[in-house]
Amino acid sequence: SAVISQKPSRDICQRGTSLTIQCQVDSQVTMMFWYRQQPGQSLTLIATANQGSEATYESGFVIDKFPISRPNLTFSTLTVSNMSPEDSSIYLCSVPEGDSYNEQFFGPGTRLTVL
C-alpha cells in the first residue's frame, strides 16, 4: 500500500488562527480525501481533493472554512481557518488503492487542539 504522511502530527492553536495540514503520498493518486474525527466520535468526510480542479465538499463543510489545495497527484493540503475550540479534532487524509481502488488507506492523522 501507499505510504501516506501528514504534517504536523499534532498542534495546539489559538482561536481565530488558521492551520494548514499537509498530506503526502509516495505514489501518484487520482483522489485524496480529508476526514474529520471529533473527540470520541467517528470519521466524517470533509471533502474530496481533486487534482486540477476545485475540491468537492460534503454537506456541512464549506470552502471558506476548510480550503483545500491539490497541486499535484502526490500532495494535498487542508487549512482549518478562523479556528474555534469546536474545530479540535483529528484530521486524516486518505487515498483509495488496490484493484479498482477497492480499498482505502489513511494517513496517521493530525491531532488539532484549539484553545
Partner 1 sequence: AQTVTQSQPEMSVQEAETVTLSCTYDTSESDYYLFWYKQPPSRQMILVIRQEAYKQQNATENRFSVNFQKAAKSFSLKISDSQLGDAAMYFCAYRSGGDYKLSFGAGTTVTVRA
Q: Is 94 in the site for partner 1 (CB under 8 A)?
A: yes
DSSP 8-state code for residue 10: E
Q: Is 73 in the site for partner 1 (CB under 8 A)?
A: no
Q: Which of 49, 80, 83, 92 binds partner 1 (CB under 8 A)?
A: 92
Give the three cell numbers for residue 5.
504522511
* Nearest to partner 1 of 71, 108 (CB atom): 108
Q: Is 45 in the site for partner 1 (CB under 8 A)?
A: yes
Of 20-28, 31-39, 62-70, 79-87, the segment contacting partner 1 by CB under 8 A is: 31-39
Q: Is 2 in the site for partner 1 (CB under 8 A)?
A: no
Name all contacts of 13-18 with Cβ < 8 Å and 24+ positions apart: 13/83, 13/112, 13/113, 13/114, 13/115, 14/83, 14/114, 14/115, 15/83, 15/84, 15/85, 15/114, 15/115, 16/82, 16/83, 17/82, 17/83, 18/79, 18/80, 18/81, 18/82, 18/83
Q: Is 53 in the site for partner 1 (CB under 8 A)?
A: no
Sites of contact with partner 1 (CB under 8 A) = 31, 33, 37, 41-45, 48, 58, 90, 92, 94, 96, 101-106, 108-109, 111
